[in-house]
Structure 1
Amino acid sequence: MTISRFFRSALGAGLFIAAGLTPSLAAAASANTVIRYGVTLAGLPIGSANLTINLSEGGPYKIEGSAKVGGLISLITDGHGSASSYGRLGPSQVKPSAYAATAVSGKKPQSVQMALAGGTVTTAQLQPELPPRQDRVPVTAANKRGVIDPLSAVLVPVPGPADALGPAACARTLPIFDGAQRFDIKTSYARTEQVSAKGYTGSAIVCAARYFPIAGHRPSRSQVKYMVNNRDVEIWLAPIKGTHVLAPFKIIIGTQIGRLTLTAARFGGGEE
């Protein structure tokens, strides 16, 4: 897995939802939350990312994400993208129905459109398609069942306020299909930290995360080997006000050229 793919999978990357796939969001949606992240690599600012989350507990949700990477890292690579995901919230998991993404990295565009039903990908279109490689693990129909999209993965429903920031919130396996690769992100409790940003000051539960590729990847690639063995990945979760849902306050990914870190400067509230 390359750095850019992990980054896009963590935040999503693209916005191409087909007409008719978008569920209606009721006026009674209980939360409209904006999260704005600063992005650094090895301590140097390289970009920004945003999430807008509209959800109704037990009802529909809509997530829109965008990211832009540049600055000093543009000497190596740069890019930008946006993404959107729709679905319904279950008591302990998300149930996505549509995901779309577009990203440009090094002037090379890529887009994804997916529809899902009951955890199964019913349609998926990747443009351009990945070039054939002898060592690429093929994606089968079975790999597209029981999955969620990478943007929906940012929402973590919990049973109630008393359990929101307990260790159990981290005990999860996220079965992700991003239109090209099928992989699991397994999380476990690490510790609890105090955080502060516009819109939220309080506790965040820190989950250690591991990457387990299943299909669509090339096992021989050095980036894939690095991420499989990478134990420097954390997701800091904080509660979305007025809900039983957690979202990332901070994401840390160790890379071969330094730590990639996304930290919320704003966490909560609607659009300004």
Structure 2
Amino acid sequence: MSKTRKLGSLAIASLLPCLAGRAEAETLKAHYALSLMGISIGSAYASGVVDRTYRIDISMRTTGLANLVNNTKGAATASGGLSVAGPSPSAYANTTSNEEEVRTVRMSLASNAVRNVEVKPEPWDAEMRVPVLEPNKKRVVDPVSALIMSVPQGQELTGPAACNRTISVFDGVTRFDIALSFAGEHTANTPGYSGPVAICSARYTPIAGHRPDSKSTRYMAENRDMNVWLAPLPEARVVVPIHIDVKTGAGDLVIEASDFQIGAKRADSRR
């Protein structure tokens, strides 16, 4: 995996709440543009339904000049239940492909603990990585579920409560923490959404599954130039990323929503 791809994945990886009694589920459909140093390198699409349960699907691919270096495509999905504490994933799957290989990850979870994980093929440098122990697989979410952040009742959706948290993530290979802290409020103006967003500064901490000699991992752990803007889904009282910017060794990586549509879908009355 190239340094830029890994940093981008961490950023994205760096990168939805109490819903009882609601009659409608909230939906999200968003397109994101990926750029490096102001040059378009790809796009991503996210769609999901958030109710007492959730399902989020994400796809991405590199385009333009990035394809000259490494033509990369990926798709991921996650589903689970929601509570006051946030998402409790039950299933996660991810497939990424480039000119060198296709890798799939499948993971089942319960009570925010990993029950089973399958990675094909295993990383070629698995023996060089910090071992992932069983305690590392508890009190975690997958990278897609990590994008769903609940805000307690009575707290502003774009205030400090939107940001101030540490998210423990396991992607099937690596275990890391993303710490968010409130840095202010901004007004976003994106097709589909115009309104306030919370600005969070982000810090990345590797826990396990990484190579201790990795320069890119060390760079990300020391990186203080990572920010995410969180837009509210008001009915669900959750926030999700609408903008991510990360300073990388190759330049500034920006993931910006070019279309951000929030809607409502009638929940199944039989539930």
Residue identity matched to 2:65: L
Give the conservation status (yes or no) of the 8 Å contact 2:180–2:203.
yes
Q: State the partner residue of 2:40.
A: 45
The answer for the alignment partner of 1:245 in structure 2 is 238
Q: Quick check: 1:32 aligned with 2:32?
A: no
2: CA distance between counterparts of 1:250 and 1:125? Answer: 31
TM score, norm. by length of structure 2: 0.88
Q: Distance in 2 between matches of 1:55 and 1:155?
A: 9
- Aligned-partner Cα distance in 2 for 1:191–1:6: 25
Q: For the residues of structure 2 that align with 1:263 and 1:240, how far apart are their CA atoms?
A: 17
Paired position in structure 2 for 1:4: 5
1:103-132 deviations in Å (ceiling 9; x for gaps): 113342111000000011000000100124
* C-alpha contact 2:94 2:104 (8 A) present in aligned 1: yes
**Whole-angstrom CA distance in 2 between matches of 1:115 and 1:267:** 29
Map of 1:208 onto structure 2: 201
Alignment match, 2:49: 54
Gaps of 5+ in 2: 14-21, 265-271
CA contact 1:34–1:52 (8 Å) conserved in 2: yes
Match of 1:229 in 2: 222
1:29 offset after TM fit, Å?
4.7
- d(CA) in 1 for partners of 2:245, 2:68: 22
Letter in 2 for 1:183: F
2:144, 2:106 → 1: CA distance?
Answer: 13
- Mapping of 1:90-169 within 5 angstroms? 90-132=83-125, 135-160=128-153, 162-169=155-162
Distance 1:107 1:130, change over 3 A: closer
The 8 Å contact of residues 113 and 137 in structure 2, kept in 1 or not, is answered as yes
Alignment partner of 1:193 out of 163, 186, 193: 186
Q: State the structure with bigger RCO (CA 8 A, min sep 6), 1 or 2.
A: 2
Q: Which amino acid aligns with 2:5?
A: S
Deviation at 1:89, TM superposition (A): 1.4
When normalised by structure 1's length, the TM-score is 0.88
Note closer, same or farther for the CA distance 1:80–1:180 as it changes in structure 2 (3 Å cut): same
Letter of the aligned partner of 1:4 in structure 2? R
Alignment identity in percent? 37
Deviation at 1:91, TM superposition (A): 1.6
2:65 counterpart SS class: helix
| Native 8 Å contact 1:11 1:65 kept in 2 | no
Deviation at 1:237, TM superposition (A): 0.1
**CA deviation profile, 1:16-55 (whole Å, cap 9, x unmatched):** xxxxxxxxxxx95511110111111110111110110101
2:63 counterpart (43, 65, 70): 70
CA shift, 1:241, in A, is 4.5
Deviation of 1:73 after TM superposition, in Å, equals 1.8
Contact 1:241 1:268 in 2 (8 A): no
Contact 1:9–1:150 (CA under 8 A) maintained in structure 2 = no
Work out the number of aligned pairs and report it. 255
Deviations 1:124-183 (A, max 9, x none): 000100124554101111111111000001111112374211112211111000000000
Distance in 2, Cα, partners of 1:5 & 1:28:
41
- What root-mean-square deviation, in Å, do the aligned CA atoms of Structure 1 and Structure 2 show? 2.0
Q: CA deviation at 1:88?
A: 1.1
Counterpart position of 1:89:
82
Amino acid at match of 2:29: V
The 4+ residue runs of structure 1 with deviation greater than 6 A are: none
**Distance in 2 of aligned mates of 1:129 and 1:115:** 17
